[in-house]
Amino acid sequence: MDFSLTPEQVELQGVARRFAYTELWPAAQELDKAARPRDAFPADLVKRASELGLRTLKLPREYGGRGIDAVTEALVLEEIAVGDCGFAMTLAHAWREGNLIARWGTRDQRERFLPELASDPGYLTSLAMTEPHAGSDNGLPYDGDLGAGPRTSAVLDGDHWVINGTKRFITNGNVARLIVLWARTDPGKPWTRGTSGFLVPADAPGLRVGRTEDKSGLRLNQNVELIFDDCRIPKENLIGELHHAHALSEEAMIGSKTKEAVRALGVARSAYELAGQWATERIQGGSPLIQHEAIAARMAQVLQELETARTLIWRAAWSVDHDPERARPLEDMAMLYTSEMGIRVAAQCLRIFGARGSLRDWPMEKLMRDASTIMLPPIGNEASWARVGNFVARHPEPAPLHGPRDPGPRDPGLRLPFTPPE
């Protein structure tokens, strides 16, 4: 097992860290205070990230990116999330949706969309699944009711798909050039077998942006309602097989939860770094706070939480590229652990600031808001626990995530000897 970073990883981590500490963090402190959510969108920072090559890192090299693997994504995104985790979410969408088109798009789709994504420094993307009535249904996925999952419909009319419905909570929906949409193509089947993926240009006729959500945290990240009213797109914009959006999302979404976990880690790391600075500076009882045993122990506990989360994230990220079947539960666990850890750590660090922890012109209260918001997507944590629970129920063998992938016939002698007493 080798945890050392490659020269390319060190380089990209350095680029992202300098950007996050010197440009993103200071700008985010101001933008976060914008009263109207739309005014918090950092268009200039998206362009700056493009200049540094950060927006297109995940695109294959042939399309102008660096084709980074999931571990490198985790390393780079952690730095960006330290600067602002809402912005990290904005950027990671371009990674994921760009990669989705590169891997699962037709040659025509790759040629129509990827060159512009690569070359236009403001080009962002969205993925639109959630609807007012269906959130976690998309992630579990619940198919016991025909009304579960997407109800937005796509009907073929000549050479066009005609789309009707409303999506909610869509990241980048008001600033994206391209929306990857999940829409129902067969309402007579459960959504997992009757939903398809589509590439919808933001200027498609019949598509408009509804409300912009006024979230407490991740304020730089735009989150909107998208309304499709007889929206027409060419029939060639179906991505993946007809009715197979669920299968496509199972493959294409791999790595997404690890990135949610990384964002929570970024928030927690910012809180740790700030609390460390303040604890060194602030003198109470005749010495800096960090010299008081109770504070040092609290900081030690926070550091242990960060390292635990990062180790789990790296394992999940490695599995995304090398052991996808195990990646699913590992990603869920990384997301669950880190998102809840983010709130614990932000609260611990806030205490170290005393009354100043709650002041709006001090940084801790933003981090508390960000940490609590990051816990909500891409499906609620209880729903994620249910997914991990399903994995556990399907794998009664000892240590299902440990040891060889395919150990051959199980040796019953390897089970711990246990006979329930009468």
Ligand X SMILES: Cc1cc2nc3c(=O)[nH]c(=O)nc-3n(C[C@H](O)[C@H](O)[C@H](O)COP(=O)(O)OP(=O)(O)OC[C@H]3O[C@@H](n4cnc5c(N)ncnc54)[C@H](O)[C@@H]3O)c2cc1C
Chain-centroid distance, C-alpha 166: 22
Interface pattern 119-158 for ligand X (x via CB under 6 A): -------xxxxx----xx---x------------------
Rule CB under 6 A: is residue 373 a binding residue for ligand X? yes
Residue 21 DSSP code: I
Q: How far from each other are the two terminal CA atoms of the chain, in whole angstroms?
A: 45
Reading the block at residue 67, the tokens are 């084709």
Rule CB under 6 A: is residue 92 a binding residue for ligand X? no
Interface pattern 386-405 for ligand X (x via CB under 6 A): x-------------------
Which one of 203, 361, 382, 422 is in contact with ligand X (CB under 6 A)?
A: 382
Of residues 155-174, those binding ligand X (CB under 6 A): 169-171
Min dist. Cβ of residue 419 to ligand X (A): 33
Answer positive or negative: Cα dihedral of 141, 144, 340, 31. Answer: positive
CA-CA distance, 197 to 186, in Å (whole number)?
13
Min dist. Cβ of residue 298 to ligand X (A): 29
Chain-centroid distance, C-alpha 293: 37
Which one of 15, 121, 380, 388 is in contact with ligand X (CB under 6 A)?
A: 380
Q: Which amino acid is present at 67?
A: G
Min dist. Cβ of residue 8 to ligand X (A): 29
Reading the block at residue 395, the tokens are 């794998």
Rule CB under 6 A: is residue 218 a binding residue for ligand X? yes
CA-CA distance, 380 to 124, in Å (whole number)?
25
Reading the block at residue 241, the tokens are 């097989």
Which one of 222, 223, 237, 258 is in contact with ligand X (CB under 6 A)?
A: 223
Mark the segment that binds ligand X (CB under 6 A) among 25-33, 49-57, 288-296, 376-384: 376-384
Instruction: Give residue number: closest CB to ligand X.
Output: 135
CA-CA distance, 402 to 351, in Å (whole number)?
38
Mark the segment that binds ligand X (CB under 6 A) among 11-19, 242-250, 359-367, 372-380: 372-380
Min dist. Cβ of residue 18 to ligand X (A): 26
Instruction: Outline where 105-186 has alpha helix (H).
Output: 107-119
Residue pair 19/48 in contact by the 8 Å Cβ criterion: yes
Residues in touch with ligand X (CB under 6 A)? 126-130, 135-136, 140, 169-171, 218, 221, 223, 373, 376-383, 386
